[in-house]
Chain A
Amino acid sequence: MAYLDLTNISKTYGTDGRKVQAVAPLTLAMDRGQIVTFLGPSGCGKTTVMRMVGGLETPTTGTITLDGARLGGPDRRRGMVFQSYAAFPWLTVAGNIRLGLKYRADLSASDREDTVNRFIELVGLKGFADSYTNQISGGMRQRVAIARTLAANPDILLMDEPFGALDALTREHLQNKLLEINRTAGKTTIFVTHDVEEAILLAHRLVVFSARPARVLEDINVTEQLGPDDRDQALRDTPAFLSLRREVQQIIRAEYIRAEAEAAHAP
C-alpha cells in the first residue's frame, strides 16, 4: 500500500439525461514526498481527478486512501492552489497567510506570528506583509496563495495550473521556489499543467492522461531518467531533458490524433 492510493476511481458528471464521463476507472499510487505532475489534453479530466483527491468532488466509483485511511470531504490534510482567485482581496498578504494558520490547533499565539513571517519570507514577499492584493502583481498573488496553503501544513499539496496565467520569468521563479520547498519540506504534491517542460522539470513522476474519459496513458519515472540531483532551470538544456520532452510531446500528439479519429467514427 502506497501513501496516497487512488483505486479504480471514476467520475461521471450529470444525471440521467446528460451524462459526461470525465474520468474512467483509474488507479494510481503515490509515494510520500513525491511530486507527480499531470499532463493531458484539455478537458480530459485532470482537474476532476485532483478535485476528487481534494474531496471537492465525490468519485462515482472507487476509493481514495491516505496512509491507509479512506478520504472524504475537504479538510486541512489536502491543500489546494487554484489557477486564479488566488489570494483573498480583503486581506493583506500577512492576513492571507494568517488565515492559513487560523484553523490549526497546534500553534500558540506567538508561534503563529513567527510562522506567518517565516512563510512570507519563504515566498519572497518580505516588505509586502501589509500590502493588499490590489497592490501586488499576479505572480506575487499566486505566491501568497501558495504560502497560505503551505501555512495550513497539509499532507498533500494540490496545484491546478497554478502558474498558468503568469509570464515566463515569474513562472520560472515560482518553479524554483516550488522545487526548493519540496527539497526542504518534502511535501507530496500533485501538479497539473499544460506546459510539457514544466511538467518534466518539476516531476519525480509524470502522468500523461488520455483524452476524456481520463485514463493513465503513460506513467514516467522522471527521477530515474533525469537523475535525482537537485533540479534547476539549467536542466532544460540537457540532452536527457530534451529527449524526454520530445518523447512526451509525441505521446500527447498521438493521443490527440487518436481521440480525433475516434470522435470522427463515433455514431
Chain B
Amino acid sequence: MFGFRTSLPRRTELALGLAGLLLFLGLWHVASVSGWVKQQFLPTPFAVVEAFGRLFTERNFAGDIAISVGRVWLAFLLSVIVAVPLGLLMSCYRAVGAFVEPFVDFIRYLPVPAMVPLLIIWFGVGEASKIAVLWMGTFFQLVLLISDDTKRVPAEYVESGFTLGASQWQVIRDIVFPAALPNIVDNLRITLGWCWTYLIIAEIVAASSGIGHVIWSLRRFVKTPEVMAGIVAIGIIGLLTDQAFRWAHRRRFRYLER
C-alpha cells in the first residue's frame, strides 16, 4: 500500500478517501458531544445535516444556491471569454505580452476585497458589482495562466505548423490552442474555485440573496448549525463542479493517458 510513487486500485483510493472523511466527522462529533467545545459554537454533524434540511424547507435555499451558481458562472464565463484569446495573443505576440503584462501584474496583486467598496461606488449594489468583483478576482490571474500554458507549447509544434504551410492564425487555431487546451482546462477548473471565494465576499458585503447572504444573515441569530450547513453547501457545490471538470478532462483528453 505504501509503494513509492505507485498507483493504487480505484477501490482502495475511494476507501482511503472515505476513511479520512469519516475520521474527520468522528473527531468532530466527539468534540461536540463530549462538551469539549460548546455546542453553541460546534454543533454535531447531525445537527448540521438537520439544519441543512431546514434551510431548504424553511427558506428558499435552493433559490439562493441557483442565484450564487448563476453569478459564479456568469462572471467566470465573462472572464474566460476575454482571458483565453488575450492569453493566446500575449504568448504568440511578444508585443501584446509586453504591453499587457506590467498592468495585469499590478492589478493581480491588489487584494480583491479592497476593491469591493470601489466597485460598489462604480456599479451600485446590484448584480453588476458582484459580477465585477468576481471578474476582477479571476480575470487577471487567468490571463497570465493561459499565457503561460500557451508559452509552454513546444516550439517544434509551432514550427512544424509553419512548415506545413499554415498561416499565423491557422497555427494559433490548429496547433497552439489544441496543444495548450488540456492545461487551459485545468487552470479554468482551479480559477472557478477562486470564484466562490470572491462570491461569498461580494454577497456578504452587499446582497439580499445568495448563499453568502444567507450565511451572513443567519449569523446574526447565532444559528451556528445553519451557518455551517451553508458553508458545507458551498463545499459540496465546489466538489461536484471540480469532479465534473476532472471527469470531462479525462474523457476529452484521453490521448494524454500513458
Contacts and interface: CB of A to CB of B under 8 A. Distances in A.
Contacts of B179: 88, 90
Interface stretch (A6-14, A97-105, A229-237): A97-105
Given A99-B164, A99-B174, A133 B159 contact: no
Contacts of B160: 80, 82, 85, 88, 145, 148-149
B175 interface: yes
Nearest to A76: B165
A85 B158 CA distance: 11
A154 B165 CA distance: 9
Given A56-B162, A80-B159, 11 more contacts: A73-B162, A75-B163, A79-B164, A88-B179, A90-B178, A99-B174, A102-B174, A103-B167, A132-B254, A152-B165, A158-B163
A80 B174 contact: no
Nearest to B258: A134
A149 B164 contact: yes
A27 interface: no
28 contacts: A54-B163, A55-B162, A55-B163, A56-B162, A75-B165, A76-B163, A78-B163, A79-B163, A80-B160, A80-B163, A82-B160, A85-B156, A85-B157, A88-B157, A88-B179, A89-B255, A89-B256, A90-B181, A91-B178, A99-B164, A103-B164, A103-B165, A103-B167, A103-B170, A132-B255, A134-B255, A152-B165, A154-B163
Interface residues of A, number: 31
A43 B256 CA distance: 33
Given A74-B159, A134-B257, A88 B175 contact: yes
Contacts, number: 75
A84 interface: yes
Interface string A141-159: 0000100110010100010
Contacts of B254: 132
B166 interface: yes
B8 to A, nearest CB: 22
B124 interface: no
Interface of B: 154, 156-157, 159-160, 162-167, 170, 174-175, 178-179, 181, 253-258
A153 to B, nearest CB: 9
A90 B179 CA distance: 7
B65 to A, nearest CB: 36
Nearest to B181: A90
Contacts of B253: 90
A133 B175 CA distance: 15
Contacts of B181: 90
Interface in A92-111: 99-100, 102-104
B164 A152 contact: yes
B156 A82 contact: yes
Contacts of A90: 178-179, 181, 253, 255
Nearest to B180: A90
Interface in A158-178: 158
A134 B182 CA distance: 15
Nearest to B252: A90
Contacts of B258: 134
A141 B119 CA distance: 53
A55 to B, nearest CB: 8
B156 A133 contact: no
